[in-house]
Structure 1
Amino acid sequence: MTTFMPMSARQIVERIAQRTTTVEAVVRACLERIAEREPTVGAWTWLNVDDALAEARRLDAAGVRGALAGVPLGVKDLIDTVQYPTAYGSSIYAGHRPAWDAACVARARAAGALVLGKTVTTEFATYCPGKTANPHDPRATPGGSSSGSAAAVADGMVPLAYGTQTAASVIRPAAYCGVVGFKPSFGRICRAGVKPLSESLDTIGVFARDVADAALFAGVLSGRAGRIPAAAGLPRIVLCRTPAAERAEPAALATLEAAAARLAQKGATVVEHDLPGVFEGLYAAQTEIMAVEAAEALSHEVACHATQLSTPLRQLIASAESVTPDRYVADQQLAQRCRAQFDTFLGDADVLMTLSALGEAPEGLAATGDPLCGRLWTLLGVPCLHLPFGVGPRGLPLGVQLVARHGEDERLLAAGEAVFGALCAR
């Protein structure tokens, strides 16, 4: 398991402002780490050392300023960049050069950040994995679809990276790789310039090594303040296993219980509740909505490049044929009803705490793990935060997921900062 501890994004910004380091020095440190570890981890699909150093020198010469001044970023290869090709994880788009940056990339550049390169994604952010291995054990999956981003941050290659989530593609890789993963409320970060998969579900998220860095990055991308509001102690928490617990590994459940016990011991209010029974239908609803909307979003690829699509992706698209228009509408109506019920369910609690994944990262690189623990929350459009906490029997990371009401992203991040501090305290 890696113990390399590079600077945080906040430290980089501070030291750039104080002129105790340079963007070039920061980028060189990242590139050295990548040169050492990339043959094992395989997090990057496009990286140009000369271009990265030239951009770093340009920022130094310009006296870069901003909330992300001098911070190198990994950009998931689902997100358009002018500087580097964007292939969306598919041979169909090999060498594709977008005409402009995605809105979320443009915002980061305007805040002084530097795009170091493109990180590996699964095919169109679905199921067929890329080359990336788990940095803690290269025999295990890093998760998907934001595999390269999660692995690069976990391994100290970059302090921050972009992800996207349609089912569990930020939270699950964060859990498997042992980093902080934040999926904001649906619609909070503009998706212009991101290859669509599911119009109702796709959400841009971020990876970082601590909650404060995740908040800073997400704040820049959403155009909101990137600092976590001060929390008045530990949050009020609803502990909820959800129906996913029936398929979880004992170590994952034990980690959730241990986190709740530690937080209660430190003074947090922790109450346990089960979700209303109607919520169980959201798992199937998310799967059906995703299939229907993926078939629509990839209509061109199906019509013109079907032979270049993987078998799992063709199966996903084919499954949409069994979802009638009435069924699709019913699925969306169920989600709408449950969104309103979720607000009531939380009551006076600040956040819900639950599983991030069913267990440690599975062995093998042919699949990316089960997205079950994210499907429900993604369909509800609520903000989610993974916090690494503990390891499983194979020595791989585990953790917990915090969930808040839609639009309460700052409350979630404040709660997450307090919880993370309490869980990490010796």
Structure 2
Amino acid sequence: MHTTTQAIEKHEHVDVAIIGAGPSGAVAAALLQRAGRNVLVLERQHFPRFSIGESLLPQSMAYLEAAGMLQAVVEAGFQYKNGAYFVHQDKHASFDFRDKHSAGWGTTYQVERAVFDQTLIKSAAEQGADVRFGHTVRTMQPGDAPVLEVEDEAGNAYVVHARFVLDASGFGRVLPRLLNLEAPTRMPTRAALFTHVRDALPAGSTDRDKICIAVHPERRDVWYWMIPLANGRSSVGCVAEASFLDVPEAEREATLRKLIQAEPNIAALIGDAPFLMPVRQIGGYAANVERLYGPGYALLGNAGEFLDPVFSSGVTIALRSADLATRVLVRQLNGETVDWLADYDKPLRKGVDTFRAFVDRWYSGELQDIIFHPRHSPGIRRMISAILAGYAWDETNPFVVNPVRRLNTLHEVCRREIG
């Protein structure tokens, strides 16, 4: 897609232009600034703004630390998190992420994304990134010297000449749309209904340090999340095939309330707690592209691929992509010859494929059989815990090296023992 640069008088030059100020964009901006690069971040919206994806994974903490953002996140007052617990009827299974196969962080936070995202991009700006809110990328001309046409809210257009462009636009998927990069996702079309509640949970009624994942009593492909947040709030939602949640906007609140009442564990925790915001719906969120890079650009996080919210992998994949891409990009900007396929695309997809194997088997019921199995060896539990904690790239874990074969084998063992 070509720009109309001849009609626009204002031209700017930067090392790297980043589309989107969410977590991947903020972390990439900070990492590049710390490497001495000139960075411009273009964000269509204004912050703070609501976003979904509130339960972080411990793997994320290493990237926040590398980007110089750890202190700001720690001091923001978010809800501490050390694991996840799963419930289905009378079955319970809990995973403490500190007890895991992989080395690294075992704790993290459950966050209101409006505050979290603003904290990250504020830190990136404080480290020198030029961050512009209310600026929309209209066109992109890829190549060795990519060119962006940008428009601010007043309708003023200008051209940005960059040595490289990173698309961190998340579900906005700016470059996949502008450059026709979309590919079949391989994931079924699912949707979510969700809101925040004033939970007023009595002490000891639940472990606020863990996300709760509950399975519908009759439909194993329908599941709920409850994410305790700071200040007595919780995020609660239900995920299912899109047709199951296809209701008019006026019926969303009643539908979610009825679904909550249908699952006894979530009902006991949420009950009739008031919803603190209108029930929202997101659908068709799974996305994919053929390649995560092209001439003069790379796609970060959800702009490239998004799987499913069940294991809270979205932010971790986003931050991992920012870390990997900036490592390659700094080398390229320093004059080295780099291989984006070998050094970025394939390594990032390795972890995504690990998560995908777990997601696929969650919806088929096989992973649920594994998680709720009453007798796991400590070693197996620690390997699974590591994946659930976000360490989907740790090749010392057999469930990363060959997740499909390992999960299939483990499920067969569990099935025989249960049978």
- Richer in strand (by share): 2
* TM-score bucket of the superposed structures, by smaller chain: under 0.3
Q: Please, what TM-score do these two structures have when normalized by structure 2?
A: 0.23
Highest RCO, 1 vs 2 (Cα 8 Å, sep ≥ 6)? 2
Q: Please, what TM-score do these two structures have when normalized by structure 1?
A: 0.22
- Richer in helix (by share): 1
